[in-house]
Amino acid sequence: MALFDDVPVEKPSPHRIGEDLGRLSIDELTDRIALMEGEIARLREAIAAKTASREAASSFFKT
């Protein structure tokens, strides 16, 4: 048995779509924009990689 039975606190997500932004500071909003721009770049890289893989497979099987 644990010495303290503290309930683990869930870490809040950095951003939720549609969340009320009125309580956030300008710095917090700027940080969220940077976070989301990084995620958009990561998603675009994944799309590019999957597109290249699909094109390579298509080219291989057409031969």
Q: What pLDDT, in 10s, does the model give residues 12-25?
A: 567 788 999 999 99
List the single range of 5-9, 15-19, 29-33, 57-61 with lowest mean pLDDT: 5-9
Specify the pLDDT at position 61. Answer: 85
Instruction: Please compute the mean of the pLDDT values over residues 36-47 and round it to a whole number.
Output: 96
Listed in sequence order, the DSSP H helices in 1-63 are 26-62
The residue ranges of every structural domain in the chain are: 24-63
Q: Which helix (H) or strand (E) holds 8?
A: none
| Mean of per-residue pLDDT scores for the chain | 86
Decide if pLDDT at 26 tops 80.
yes
Specify the pLDDT at position 1. Answer: 52
